[in-house]
């Protein structure tokens, strides 16, 4: 029980009465309708539904969406309306204890129902209103970019899928009486797990970025609700291409504050178009689309791949420095980083040219066996493989091979 209580620190358990979000503040985009319809289906929990004749629902939903949306607020509103508990991760605690959380992540999910019971007992002891624990609890995993940076090359989604695709593990999770909603912000990660995805999740909902018409509507709604604030809607709509809902609203708030600091807000009309333009142009507010752009360009560009064949790698067991040499060799290569798109391309090229040889080489690396000279020459063509742990490299190589086979099949080859 001590471990379970310890794991509570990673969760923020929100009761419906604690949610104070006004549904009118949510921008209801088209895909949100699919989300609410799915959640209604799961929360109804009736064996008489027609859909049960075709599909055994798991209650696990995967949503791909850009950063800067109001998706979290929307899900909390749903939790409040259906009067069910809402559990979210405590990002700050996870960052402070990232290794402990990642190592125990699967155990945490497997025992989440016990964590809910502990919280319910605490509520009863404090005389709080008792919520019907027979209802499902919404558990939200928001896999945002900050958490991805903490885990580095490790993928928490990949870890989740590969564990719970096993029938016994999945059934244990489903007994927890939770409705799991997984928020993903990196579609490449979904592509990499596409074959196993629906062994664990019922549904993938891909929410596109808001378009020009929707951005225009958001700005128009803001001005109608705040009629003392004016700006050129058409111009700001064009300047915020690829921005998201919360980012646009925050931009306007910053502009209003700047206007007040410079000339004070008046009670009749406040024109802030030029201030909004300056905030955007100066970079004093950075939307997620620009963060991703700058993040990609911070990665080290490799003009020339290291020649592994010429490195001091042991050919047999007679070299006393073998372990130190291998470690230095691997560390050197791990310092070279590639974008995820480029990595997929590199693995596909490797799989098409030397799949069988690389499978053997990765197996040797896993077993800490010495590499033959021929192995080193082959590996020198694909040094990026050592950026990943051997198990992940093997998985990436297999997925790349499957993608190539699928392409060949589609062209009748």
Q: Can you spell out the DSSP letters for 274-343?
A: HHHHHHHHHTSS--HHHHHHHHHHHSPP-SS---GGGS---SSTT-TTHHHHHHHHHHHHHT----HHHH
d(CA 2, CA 111): 13
pLDDT at 238: 94
pLDDT at 64: 95
* pLDDT by position in tens, the chain (length 413): 455 666 778 888 888 989 999 999 999 999 999 999 999 988 877 777 888 888 888 889 999 999 999 999 999 999 999 999 899 988 888 888 888 888 888 887 877 777 777 766 766 666 555 555 567 889 999 988 777 666 666 788 888 998 888 888 888 777 778 899 999 998 988 998 888 999 999 999 999 999 999 999 999 999 999 988 999 999 999 999 999 999 999 999 999 999 888 876 676 678 899 999 999 998 899 898 876 655 554 444 433 444 444 444 444 444 455 555 555 555 555 555 556 667 777 888 888 888 888 988 888 888 888 888 888 888 888 888 887 888 888 888 888 888 777 776 655 55
pLDDT at 97: 84
Residues in contact with 167: Cβ distance below 8 Å, sequence separation at least 6, in sequence order: none
pLDDT at 302: 39
**H-state helical runs in 15-97:** 30-44, 71-82, 91-96
User: pTM for the full model?
Assistant: 0.67
**Sequential DSSP letters for 351-408:** HHHHHHHHHHHHHHHHTTPPPPHHHHHHHTT-GGGGGS-HHHHHHHHHHHHHHHHHHH
Are 66 and 185 in contact by the 8 Å Cβ rule? The answer is: yes
pLDDT at 178: 86
Burial of 120 (0-12, 13-18, 19+ CB in 10 A): middle
User: What is the C-alpha radius of gyration for the chain, rounded to an integer number of angstroms?
Assistant: 26
Could you give the domains of the chain?
A: 2-206 (3.40.50), 212-297 (1.10.8.60), 308-410 (no CATH)
pLDDT at 313: 43
d(CA 87, CA 138): 6
Nearest in space to 43 (alpha carbons), one of 85, 8, 14: 85
Helix-helix angle 390-410:340-366, to 10 degrees: 120
**Sequential DSSP letters for 204-267:** EEE-PPP-HHHHHHHHHHHHHHSTTEE--HHHHHHHTTT--HHHHHHHHHHHHHHHHHHH---S
> What are the strands, taking DSSP E only, across 90-189?
137-143, 178-184
Q: Which two tokens stand for residue 287?
A: 């939307």
């Amino acid at each position: 029980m001590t471990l379970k209580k310890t794991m509570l620190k990673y969760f923020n358990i929100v009761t419906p009465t604690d949610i104070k979000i006004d549904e009118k503040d949510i921008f209801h985009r088209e895909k949100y309708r699919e989300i609410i319809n799915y959640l209604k289906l799961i929360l109804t929990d009736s064996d008489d539904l027609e859909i049960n004749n075709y599909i055994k629902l798991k209650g696990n939903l995967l949503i791909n969406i850009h950063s800067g949306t109001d998706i979290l607020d929307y899900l909390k509103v749903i939790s409040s309306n259906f009067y069910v508990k809402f559990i979210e991760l405590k990002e700050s605690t996870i960052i402070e204890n990232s290794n402990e959380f990642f190592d125990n992540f699967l155990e945490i999910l497997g025992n989440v129902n016990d964590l809910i019971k502990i919280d319910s007992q605490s509520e009863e002891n404090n005389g709080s209103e008792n919520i019907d624990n027979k209802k499902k609890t919404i558990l939200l995993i928001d896999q945002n970019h900050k958490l991805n940076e903490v885990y580095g090359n490790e993928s928490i989604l990949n870890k989740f899928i590969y564990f719970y695709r096993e029938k016994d593990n999945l059934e244990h999770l489903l007994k927890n009486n939770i409705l799991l909603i997984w928020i993903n912000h990196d579609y490449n990660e979904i592509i990499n797990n596409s074959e196993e995805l629906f062994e664990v999740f019922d549904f993938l909902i891909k929410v596109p970025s808001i378009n020009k018409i929707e951005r225009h509507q958001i700005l128009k709604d803001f001005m109608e609700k705040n009629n003392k604030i004016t700006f050129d809607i058409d111009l700001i709509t064009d300047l915020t291409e690829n921005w998201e809902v919360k980012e646009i609203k925050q931009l306007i708030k910053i502009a209003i504050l700047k206007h007040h600091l410079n000339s004070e807000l008046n009670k009749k009309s406040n024109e802030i178009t030029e201030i909004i333009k300056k905030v955007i142009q100066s970079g004093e507010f950075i939307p997620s689309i620009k963060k991703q752009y700058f993040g990609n360009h911070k990665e080290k560009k490799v003009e020339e791949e290291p020649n592994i064949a010429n490195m001091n790698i042991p050919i047999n067991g007679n070299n006393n420095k073998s372990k130190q040499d291998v470690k230095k060799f691997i560390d050197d290569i791990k310092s070279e980083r590639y974008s995820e798109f480029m990595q997929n391309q590199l693995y596909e090229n490797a799989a098409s040219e030397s799949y069988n040889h690389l499978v053997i080489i990765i197996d040797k690396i896993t077993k800490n066996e010495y590499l033959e000279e021929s192995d080193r020459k082959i590996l020198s063509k694909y040094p990026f493989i050592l950026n990943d742990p051997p198990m992940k490299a093997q998985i990436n190589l297999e997925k790349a091979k499957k993608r190539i086979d699928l392409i060949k099949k589609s062209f009748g080859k």
